[in-house]
Amino acid sequence: MKRSCSILCAVFLLALLFTRCEGYQHATIPNVKVNFTIFPDDVQYYKLNFIGGYEYFTGGVAGIIVYRIDYQTFVAYDRACPYDWENADSWLVVDESGIMITDPECGTRFNILDGSVIDGPSQYPLKYYKTNYDGRRLRIYN
């Protein structure tokens, strides 16, 4: 009995491990390979030197927004709106306040800290990419 329980637990842990390694699947926006590294303290990314700073990058489905939450934490979102991602005119932008991301076409507003919907027609949060910051290099990937 103990052996079958051990085998069952091992199978469960392996299944969990393999499902976690597949990566993030957004409900509406397709996966596109993203893997690049920047140095946030480089002059060309000066906005990322400050908490609340952001920059736009090419890549993903419609471009990528990288936002600095604090000295060690960055978030990265695809600029494609989950509501109408196939519309080339609906690229997301950081609004003037710097605390929301908006779709100028459909009007959906998203929280810049976690990508959740604040209001508008989108039912889904923003597509995010993983980030890894070692104090010098910032890697954005999926």
pLDDT the model gives residue 1: 52
Counted residue by residue, the chain has a size of: 142
Weakly modelled stretches of the chain, pLDDT under 50: 3-22
pLDDT the model gives residue 133: 98
CATH superfamily for 2-141 is Rieske [2Fe-2S] iron-sulphur domain (2.102.10.10)
pLDDT the model gives residue 90: 75
Nearest in space to 59 (alpha carbons), one of 127, 134, 133: 127
Handedness of CA 98, 27, 64, 84 (dihedral sign): negative
pLDDT the model gives residue 26: 79
Is-contact 137 37, C-beta < 8 A?
A: yes
pLDDT the model gives residue 12: 40
State pTM to two decimals: 0.81
Domain ranges of the chain: 2-141
Give, for 76, the enclosing helix (H) or strand (E): strand 74-78
Q: Which amino acid is at 33?
A: K
